[in-house]
A and B are shown apart, each in its own frame.
Chain A
Amino acid sequence: MLLEESLRKYRMGMALLAICVGAAYWPVGERLVTQWYIDPNYSHGFFVPLIACWFLYRDWEGVKACPVEPSLSGLAVMLAATVMLVMGFLSTEYFTMRFSFVVMLAGVVLYLFGRNVFGRMRMPILYLLLMIPIPYIVYDAAAFPLKLLVANASVSALKLVGMTVVREGNIIMFPNLVLEVADACSGLRSLMTLVTLSVTGAFLVLRRPLMRIVLVAAAVPFAVITNMARVIVTGILAEKVSPELAEGVFHEMAGLGVFIMALVLTGMLAFILRRLEVRDAA
């Protein structure tokens, strides 16, 4: 039986199952959406499920024609997700609970439809992992050295154009303004947004694994460059125009400006990598 037929034949059961998944993960999802809403590092979370659905839709012709061969290994995956959810729930460990949701989805697909279908749906399912905020202990370990790098390089650049600045840790002091390079416990702004952006671009435009890895890895230098631009522009504004304006712009730049700049950079790199792929294939 093909997936298409199976879905049609058991549509009531499938709908019931979807409701059960919703019931089990409702409290987890509710908190996750709240975090997307309040945590500027994860505003992109809203788009991840939509893009995942779109990735699935794009490949739907192929997916629905996959043969269904239910696999018991899926039940083991579902049990693993159950253990994760129970442990995470009882110890209020959000990352574990949220991760469990993606594992559960994978398990359900494997259990009901088997490896063929799962293989074909793997990318959209795993893509959902990008909607989960990573634990701050992990995030900070990576982002803190980058934050210092941003502070360091920005100060050097500002000194180069002849400005008076002093740096102390991740704090940059101008004669009339003190800038902290990202607030405490927030890490390098938009790093995860950029990673999500580049993963999306990698699967949209590129075919070869190596090229995709290059594009995703580029998110780190792009985050550093765009955050540096934010600090430098703010510094110059503070000095030449007014500190109030700089603070306003500082926050605006943190969101929209950095994002647009990164979008352009990622787009350009994706374009170049695509050209390389096409040239190699020819």
Chain B
Amino acid sequence: MQRRLLIACALLLMLGGLTNFHENLNVPLARPLKEFPQQVNGWRQVQDVTFSEGILGVLRATDYLFRDYVDAGGRRMNLYIGFHDGGPKSGPIHSPRNCLPGSGWQLESQRPVTVSGPDGEVEVVRAEYSKDGETTVFYYWFSVRDRVVTDEYSLKLMELFSSLTMRRKDSSFIRVAMDQSVEMDGDGAAFKLFFREFYPLIREFLPS
């Protein structure tokens, strides 16, 4: 019995060492998101939203950006970037798969799509949600260090792995939303153009 007690105590003490003393680092952004350009090659910022205390309390992002951009043709896109620095005070990324249905959005369709970035193809998620009879198209992806991830489970696994090996768990969630009519115009071409301009910029702001 004594040996068993010792083994159990040793195991639990090791666990206690981890839960009490392992702390992930606060990884800083390369540049604060408020410095994100208001004019990006033909796209012009028309709205910059500051979230209320209540929303920020739930979101628990370290830094965020919530802006509308319009191009010369009047196509309007909403860009959200939420950066979570992975430190002890930062909260987890809220996946749209939980949060949109939770606030009354109905998922219509969801599938991965590939778009071309500066260093080759990138896979992102394309999802359609509707609320009050209007359909919005969302393109989103998660960014962990220099990798793009599209599902919540790989995101968790990567965070787990980096936390164990590098004591960092920083990750970002990037979402581009537009009205269905904007998206229909030219078979998603608007998003492809938007992505080509914005993706390299977003990468510059996030930690590598």
A residues neighboring B (CB under 8 Å): 6, 9-10, 13-14, 16-17, 20-21, 23-28, 70, 75, 78-79, 82, 85-87, 89-93, 104, 108, 111-112, 136-137, 140, 144, 168-171, 184-185, 187
Contact = CB atoms under 8 A, between A and B. Distances in A.
Contacts of B15: 24, 82, 85-86
A90 B103 contact: no
A17 B8 contact: yes
B72 interface: no
B192 interface: no
Contact of A20 (B12, B99, B131, B157): B12
A187 to B, nearest CB: 8
A70 to B, nearest CB: 6
A268 to B, nearest CB: 33
A206 B107 CA distance: 42
Contacts of A185: 58, 98-99, 102-103
A137 B157 CA distance: 18
Contact of B19 (A27, A75, A111, A184): A27
Given A20-B9, A20-B12, A20-B16, A70 B4 contact: yes
Given A20-B13, A26-B20, A91-B157, 9 more contacts: A6-B1, A17-B9, A20-B9, A23-B13, A24-B15, A90-B22, A93-B156, A112-B5, A185-B98
Contacts of A92: 92, 159, 169
18 contacts: A17-B8, A17-B12, A24-B12, A24-B13, A24-B19, A25-B19, A70-B1, A75-B7, A87-B160, A112-B5, A137-B98, A140-B98, A140-B101, A144-B101, A169-B104, A169-B132, A184-B103, A184-B104
Contact of A90 (B1, B8, B11, B163): B163
Given A28-B19, A184-B102, A91 B2 contact: no
A87 B58 CA distance: 24
Contacts of A17: 5, 8-9, 12
A16 B97 CA distance: 44
Interface of B: 1-2, 4-5, 7-9, 11-13, 15-16, 18-20, 22, 58, 92, 95, 97-99, 101-104, 131-132, 156-157, 159-160, 163-164, 169
B5 A13 contact: yes
With most chain A CB atoms within 10 A of its CB, the pick from B92, B157, B160 is B160
Contacts of B12: 17, 20-21, 23-24, 104
A89 B98 contact: no
Interface residue SS majority, chain A:
helix
B101 to A, nearest CB: 6
Contacts of B19: 24-28, 85, 89
Nearest to A137: B98
B98 A90 contact: no
A10 B164 contact: no
Given A26-B19, A91-B160, A184-B102, A112 B4 contact: yes
B99 to A, nearest CB: 7
A6 B22 CA distance: 35
Contacts of A14: 5
A91 B159 contact: yes
Contacts of B169: 90-92
B146 to A, nearest CB: 20
Given A24-B19, A184-B104, A78 B8 contact: yes
A111 B8 contact: yes
A26 B58 CA distance: 24
B100 to A, nearest CB: 10
A184 B101 CA distance: 9
B97 A90 contact: no
A170 B102 CA distance: 11
Contacts of B9: 16-17, 20
B163 A137 contact: no
Contact of A112 (B8, B92, B97, B159): B8
